[in-house]
Chains A and B, each alone.
Chain A
Amino acid sequence: MAESLPSTEVPLIADLTPDVSDERLAGVRVGVVTFPGTLDDRDAARAVRIAGGTPVPLWYKDSDLQSVDAVIIPGGFSYGDYLRAGSIAAKAPMMREVHRAATADGTSGSAPLPVLGICNGFQILTEMHLLPGSMIKNDHLKFVCTDQRLRVENTETPWTAELDRGGEIVVPLKNQDGQYVADARTLRQLEEENRVVFRYVGGNPNGSRQDIAGVTNERGNVVGLMPHPEHAVEPGFGPSSSGTEEVAMRYGSDGLRLFTSLLRQIVAA
């Protein structure tokens, strides 16, 4: 863990503000970084758009964050997962900027940038040491694509503030290297500090330690998870189930709440 900063003094989680105008939501700019080999960037951008925000494409070679309010590192196979999933992308110029903004000193008045890493994005964030642990090949050694049930363990991040703690969501999971591993001390620390954000329920699909599907950093602004919330945002094109209700085939849209949560938190902050 590279973070040496104390927990931020800037409040990350605002009080819920039920009435947020569409206009204000649309004013929230969310960057989506594209590397060579990124696959789910257009899907992440679509999720931001459906949630009401404005997606901003960010190219990995650039070093200008374009004053975005948050950043999503989307899924895919950056650099073909060659060498090690996420390892090469972690060194990109844009990621230096993301690292700087995500670890910004709260006391200086600039809040740390909310960052969400999905799948390969999660792998990249661990390679950058913005998040602890690492991902290795699934225990069954195969690629797996499935509708995955998750329990929400932490609602104190901007990405999960409007989810129900202890509640369940269903989002697609699709990866080859999704087994979350960390040393015993890190795992203990994650549990003690309530930094496991999502946990697999109804079966562990890849052998992840302690059923961990997603974690956050000490300050709660950086979240990474292996499953894909951006693929459960639009009725008709999502998973066939939901954590809360009976839905029609492909009508599951639990993932949308991560994006609306982020937008509303930023508007409220």
Chain B
Amino acid sequence: MSEQQFNLDTVDHARTTPDTDLPWAELGLKENEFEDIKKILGRRPTAAELAMYSVMWSEHCSYKSSKVHLKQFGAKVTDEMKKDLMVGIGENAGVTDIGNGWAVTFKIESHNHPSYVEPYQGAATGVGGIVRDIISMGARPVAVMDPLRFGAIDHPDTQRVVHGVVAGVGGYGNSLGLPNIGGEVEFDACYQANPLVNALAVGVMRHEDIRLANASGVGNKVILFGARTGGDGIGGASVLASESFDDAKPSKRPAVQVGDPFAEKVLIECCLELFKDSVVEGIQDLGAAGISCATSELASNGDGGMHVDLTKVLLRDSTLTPGEILMSESQERMMAVVTPANMARFEEIMDKWDVEYSVLGEVTDSGRLVIEWDGEIIVDVDPKTVAHDGPTYERPYSRPAGQDATQADRFSESAAGRDRPAGAELGKAVVELMASPNLCSKEWVTDQYDRYVQGNTALSQPDDAGVVRVDEETGLGVALATDANPRYAYLDPYEGAKASLAEAYRNVATAGARPVAVSDCLNFGSPEDPDVMWQFAEAVRGLADGCMELGVPVTGGNVSLYNQTGGQAINPTPVVAMMGVMDDVTRRTPSGWAPTEDGNAIYLLGTTADELDGSEWARLKGHLGGRPPRVDLAQEKLLGDMLVNMSRDGMIDAAHDLSQGGLAAALADACLRFGVGARIGLGEVAERDGVDEFTLLFSESQGRAVCSVPRTEEVRFKDMCTARGYAFARIGVVDAVNDALDLQGVASVPLAELREAWSGTLPKYFG
């Protein structure tokens, strides 16, 4: 590199040229941040240092607007909650002890902006990134899930985004051999130019196999392995993920990474072999901010120093500048710290898998991260200032001026709310609800994902949670559900966040698993807007309070801000991923009744109030106002506990939680699951709860579930409800003879009609 196409900006050069103009604003830094960097260094940063700080201090990497709030997740915990937590927030992903020497790590992340700019690659690399987080904990990834949110189903651009995102999630995940066991699909105009692509991965390991991202042991080798570094994804974290979209700016396509799932699959197997033979001391995946992140985090979490020669990085494009190499977010790369003694074995494993690697440098005890290029020092920083000492903002926030008016706009007082269907119209209303974009069958999406690979999937979409076996000997496994209700969160972010948490908790328990840990993906608009910041602060407070009440810790997660275009922010979307544990996954509870359950009693647990604000029915009628359903987490805990015990003791054959679409959607889902009908009487319960039949069917009161109970178990079932003081009512029977959802005395909906409406919606729009 003697004839360089750029002027190498060395540390010495920076010292002697304090007034050189630097493109800090183009790199997404604010003026005060640039001043801080100069203060830390005692000089102006070099071009390479500026590149590192700009990506690591971006909103995406530094959580500068959110961390003052996120602290609550660490503060609002009890010792009891921490009991099974082996690794908490701050590492690549949290780790939970699930017993028998097994540990599980899971995490959910966003890849929102890239998925709008370039849907296929954005979604694909979203899956790739979260899977590498899981590998870098020492775990074998065993499943993925994808909560997806798109714009209005009939908007012309939604086609482009949906096709690209679904194909990207499938194309990448299927090629990795990871079953996709669930997620969500929501359509709402608020996501038109800001679709949300969240990706969850879960991995398992033996306790002794946990690996952390730190570089310890002076003289140990720092190695970059996997794919070569190219020009893709430069500034992805800073320029793309940490700013709002604005029509005036040029296309951001070059900031999107390009994925190679084959390289990632090989990397997974290669890493697992490294772990098995205890070849690495520390390991870190390369995601957002690439080498900048990996070197600064490894160094600052270890002995504090590292010396790296950037010219050793294997490149796809030889014209990249040092700054670009530091910022590149090329996929399928990992960085490992290896003792000299283990180098031979390391090389052997790389050769076996034909993975390229390059020793970049060594761990030092200098307390400095020093990076050289062609013999000249271009970075000399305290790595902690890059990785951990980024700015922290106490962003101003305030309750939006219109919030009171929004909450006063009750559905029941709207025109649509007053014009409620009754009698036979209720049958048509059920069909209309089940054909709606948000409650219709998601098979068009999920049939493009492999749910079988690895042979451990005990439950997947459309059931309430995905369940995978961890231990083939005992059947020990985990259940996972992801949920958000952004409409509730819009009406009341504190209660809405709690409702998302409650729903995820209920879903996992309904499947038969004991909820034990949370990961969250907090998708919001711009933190620079006080209204949005209020939504964020309230939602985090709600989640932290809720987790405390349920006794389930947050083990990690991700914040995605700036999901807005111009002044239009998305509805606040706190996605909660809940993990539960099952001693034997073959005891899992399906979400619908099978033909063999003919004659089983159908029970409704919980009570119903007039809570239609923010409901799916209100969405169908174009209404969003009022207050979301009240959440009582003590009741949710009680319900969850009952559902887990009922499943374990064989008291229920099927159960389905009530959430969006209320009782109507739950009954329809349960009938459609295996094509088996039911005869339901609404009158008694409606009278008990003091609501009309419409409200009983479509209200979204929390803390409810329907259960299919064998005749022989009814006494035990009722005894348990009575003993726990939980409201229950026998509302009907499973009917495998008449293929209908028969709401007796009101309307009978043939299952064929219901299925046609339910399964026709997505194919109609997407082919």
Using CB atoms and an 8 Å cutoff, list the residues of chain A in contact with chain B: 36-37, 39-40, 42-43, 46, 61, 76-77, 79-82, 142-146, 172, 174, 176, 228, 230-231, 234-237, 240, 246, 248-250
Contacts and interface: CB of A to CB of B under 8 A. Distances in A.
Interface string B443-470: 0001111111111111100000000010
B177 A80 contact: no
B175 A36 contact: no
Given A36-B353, A36-B354, A236 B454 contact: no
Given A39-B177, A236-B458, A174 B452 contact: yes
Contacts of A82: 262
B647 to A, nearest CB: 14
B266 interface: yes
Nearest to B174: A143
Given A39-B177, A143-B171, A249-B590, A237 B455 contact: yes
A98 B91 CA distance: 46
The 4 closest A-B pairs by CB, nearest first: A80-B262, A39-B177, A236-B586, A43-B455
Interface string B350-370: 001110000000000000000
A130 to B, nearest CB: 24
Most buried by A among B265, B269, B458, B594: B265
B452 A231 contact: yes
Given A142-B167, A145-B447, A237-B469, A77 B456 contact: no
A236 B590 CA distance: 11
Contacts of B260: 80
B448 A142 contact: yes
B236 interface: no
Given A36-B265, A77-B175, A249-B590, A237 B450 contact: no
A237 B477 CA distance: 13
B458 A37 contact: no
27 contacts: A39-B177, A40-B453, A46-B455, A61-B352, A76-B177, A77-B261, A79-B262, A80-B175, A80-B261, A80-B262, A80-B263, A81-B262, A82-B262, A143-B450, A145-B450, A145-B451, A146-B447, A172-B452, A231-B452, A246-B595, A246-B596, A248-B594, A248-B596, A249-B590, A249-B594, A250-B458, A250-B459
Contacts of A250: 457-459
B170 interface: yes
Nearest to A50: B455
B585 interface: yes
Contact of B453 (A37, A174, A235): A174
A80 B262 CA distance: 5
Given A142-B448, A144-B447, A237-B458, A37 B586 contact: no
Contacts of A142: 167, 448
Contacts of A230: 455
A179 B554 CA distance: 45
Most buried by B among A43, A81, A142, A235: A142
B393 interface: no
A145 B449 CA distance: 6
B448 A144 contact: yes
Contacts of B261: 77, 80
A39 B178 CA distance: 9
Nearest to B178: A39
B765 interface: no
Contacts of A249: 590, 594, 674
Given A39-B175, A77-B175, A80-B265, 20 more contacts: A36-B262, A36-B266, A36-B353, A39-B265, A43-B455, A61-B352, A80-B260, A80-B261, A80-B262, A80-B263, A81-B262, A142-B448, A143-B449, A144-B447, A174-B453, A231-B455, A234-B455, A237-B455, A237-B469, A250-B458
Interface in B398-421: none
A231 to B, nearest CB: 4
A146 B455 CA distance: 15
B726 to A, nearest CB: 26
Interface in B651-703: 674
Most buried by A among B175, B446, B596: B175
Interface of A: prevailing SS: loop
B314 to A, nearest CB: 19
A225 B20 CA distance: 66
Contacts of B456: 237
A174 B458 contact: no
A143 B163 CA distance: 12
Interface in B243-281: 260-263, 265-266, 269
Contacts of A46: 455, 472
A42 B177 CA distance: 11
Nearest to A47: B455
Most buried by B among A36, A42, A172, A228: A36
Contacts of B458: 236-237, 250
A80 B456 CA distance: 23
Contacts of A248: 594, 596
A27 B354 CA distance: 34
A223 B459 CA distance: 31
A228 B449 CA distance: 15
A143 B453 CA distance: 14
Contacts of B451: 145
Contacts of B354: 36
Contacts of A144: 447-448
B18 to A, nearest CB: 50
A247 to B, nearest CB: 10
A172 B674 CA distance: 17
Nearest to B587: A236
A248 to B, nearest CB: 6
Nearest to B170: A143
Contacts of A174: 174, 450, 452-453
B226 to A, nearest CB: 13
Contacts of A39: 175-177, 265, 453
Contacts of A37: 175, 262, 265-266
Interface string B549-560: 000000000000
A136 B628 CA distance: 50
B594 A77 contact: no
Most buried by B among A42, A144, A246, A249: A249
A63 B447 CA distance: 38
A237 B170 contact: no
A269 to B, nearest CB: 29
Interface in B140-164: none
Contacts of A76: 177
Contacts of B171: 143, 176
Nearest to A249: B590
A145 B173 CA distance: 13
Contact of A40 (B177, B585, B674): B177
Contacts of A236: 458, 585-586
Nearest to B586: A236
B452 A228 contact: yes
A8 to B, nearest CB: 33
A84 to B, nearest CB: 14
B759 to A, nearest CB: 13
A240 B675 CA distance: 13
B262 A237 contact: no
A58 to B, nearest CB: 14
Contacts of A79: 262
B119 to A, nearest CB: 15
Nearest to B260: A80
A231 B177 CA distance: 13
Nearest to B171: A143
A248 B177 CA distance: 26
B433 to A, nearest CB: 25
B67 to A, nearest CB: 39
A246 B262 CA distance: 39
Nearest to A240: B674
Interface string B472-490: 1000000000000000000
Interface string B76-101: 00000000000000000000000000
Contacts of A246: 595-596
